Amino acid sequence: MNTPITVLGFAGSLRKNSCNKALLRVAKELMPQDAKLETFDLEGIPPFNQDLEDKMPERAKEFKAKIREADAILIATPEYNYSIPGVLKNAIDWASRPYGDNSFEGKPVAIMGASGGRLGTARAQYHLRQTFVCLNMHPINRPEVFVDQAGEKIDKDGKLIDEPTRKIIRELLENLIVWTRRLGKK
Ligand SMILES: Cc1cc2nc3c(=O)[nH]c(=O)nc-3n(C[C@H](O)[C@H](O)[C@H](O)COP(=O)(O)O)c2cc1C
């Protein structure tokens, strides 16, 4: 039996009915047997202030500790104005600091995203991938999970009702676990 892998998932949305939070709920269900998904809500992480990076606010510290403990990371990002939402970038910035103490260092990561538009967060995801270079993370390239026209795929109760989307999320998670083992993280 393989040692279980812990994945930390978070969504770049604070919205209660967020479709990206809905994707994370589905991911919890679809996680391979030898892995578990914990989630973290970015609510309460204050705006980044470099003056405070050596005495971080409690919620930012908590987030950073969760990242550090995790074997792999899963991010569900909305697209805001063709890029990643400020709350997501803000949280990433806290957890990457102070210089030399980046909690994302060397971690495997997978991305998915849902939006009301036709490109399903593609532009935001490529911006996020650029950030991974600086963070020295190891993203998986495929599949790319772009959930477009999310209002038709996620019902009013926040349930994913689109079978092809479930299938591609399952594939993403399987690939993330294989990738995490290949990188020797577990
Ligand atoms: C400030 C803002 C900017 C947005 N910009 C985009 C965009 O560039 N592309 C897009 O597809 N959707 C855009 N949207 C719509 C979001 O895709 C939609 O609100 C989505 O539901 C957000 O994700 P969430 O449900 O997880 O909160 C934008 C929404 C907001 C609030």
pLDDT band at 183 (very low <50, low <70, confident <90, very high): very high
User: For ligand 1, which residues put their CB under 6 angstroms from it?
Assistant: 13, 15, 18-20, 78-82, 115-117
For ligand 1, atom 2: residue with the closest CA: 80
Percent of the chain's residues with pLDDT above 70: 99
pLDDT of amino acid 177: 97
pLDDT at 2 exceeding the cut of 90: no
Centroid of ligand 1 to alpha carbon of 6 (angstroms): 29
Length of the chain: 186
pLDDT at 185 exceeding the cut of 90: no
Helix (H, G, I), strand (E, B) or coil at 157: coil
Atom of ligand 1 nearest to the CA of 115: 17
pLDDT at 9 exceeding the cut of 90: yes
Give, in order, the Cα–Cα distances in Å from 94 to each of 51, 139, 141, 146: 12, 20, 25, 26
Centroid of ligand 1 to alpha carbon of 120 (angstroms): 10
pLDDT at 39 exceeding the cut of 80: yes
For ligand 1, atom 24: residue with the closest CA: 18
Query: Peptide bond before 98: cis, by omega within 30 degrees of 0?
Result: yes
Say what the pTM is. Answer: 0.98
| Cα distance between residue 21 and residue 48, in whole Å | 23
Centroid of ligand 1 to alpha carbon of 55 (angstroms): 33
Radius of gyration of the chain (CA): 16
Centroid of ligand 1 to alpha carbon of 115 (angstroms): 6
pLDDT band at 119 (very low <50, low <70, confident <90, very high): very high
Question: Residue 64: left (phi > 0), alpha (psi -120 to 50), or beta?
Answer: alpha
